[in-house]
Chain A
Amino acid sequence: DGGITQSPKYLFRKEGQNVTLSCEQNLNHDAMYWYRQDPGQGLRLIYYSQIVNDFQKGDIAEGYSVSREKKESFPLTVTSAQKNPTAFYLCASSILNSNSPLHFGNGTRLTVT
């Protein structure tokens, strides 16, 4: 089955540590995205990538970094510079066509203490 896999589902880290969230897709989609979801809030775009080795900042990129070395993979690193990292992180992908629907993974819930 084609889809998006995010791992792990739950992640716990100590403050001051960098942590990397995994996102893999086998849908052959060119575009991939990272969103952050906080309780009672909509989704906010962190980073997106439309092609391998290229990515763009979204609305809340500060304190995050990404890489896109392979079409299938778009890992997100939450750095120690992110002041409020505890949140639910969703990865998505789509075909490279303006406004095509996004396909989402199951998300990773990150808790930093």
Chain B
Amino acid sequence: AQKVTQAQTEISVVEKEDVTLDCVYETRDTTYYLFWYKQPPSGELVFLIRRNSFDEQNEISGRYSWNFQKSTSSFNFTITASQVVDSAVYFCALSEIDGGSQGNLIFGKGTKLSVKP
């Protein structure tokens, strides 16, 4: 069965600190996609990144970086030099490429990040 675990329920950091949000997934499929979404206090989820299971290259986008390791079934998200605007709930999600219902992402329970000035 597919499963996404975000073990960190809440994280609090001081501005300018680096922070890593953990995501561990379970799937029997060899082909799948992983996602990260950000949910600010306004409520909508904002897409951050999608990574397919064949691409293990790490990715950097500004202060954001993602570390995908198939060997440990992890897709961790690091924010460098955090800012107050990074405060949000962050969700990791998993979906199969060919199977299942489209949009049936399996979401983790989210990690609430609070960045204090």
Contact = CB atoms under 8 A, between A and B. Distances in A.
Contacts of B4: 42
Interface in B25-61: 33, 35, 37, 42-47, 50, 52
Interface residues of B, number: 28
B44 A33 contact: no
What secondary structure prevails in chain A residues at the interface with B? strand
A3 to B, nearest CB: 9
Interface string B74-115: 000000000000000001010101100111111111100000
A106 B42 contact: yes
B102 A96 contact: yes
A59 interface: yes
B73 interface: no
B54 to A, nearest CB: 13
28 contacts: A31-B103, A42-B4, A42-B91, A42-B106, A43-B91, A43-B105, A43-B107, A45-B101, A45-B104, A45-B105, A48-B101, A56-B101, A58-B101, A59-B104, A92-B45, A92-B103, A94-B102, A94-B103, A96-B102, A99-B33, A99-B102, A102-B45, A102-B103, A102-B105, A104-B44, A104-B46, A105-B44, A106-B43
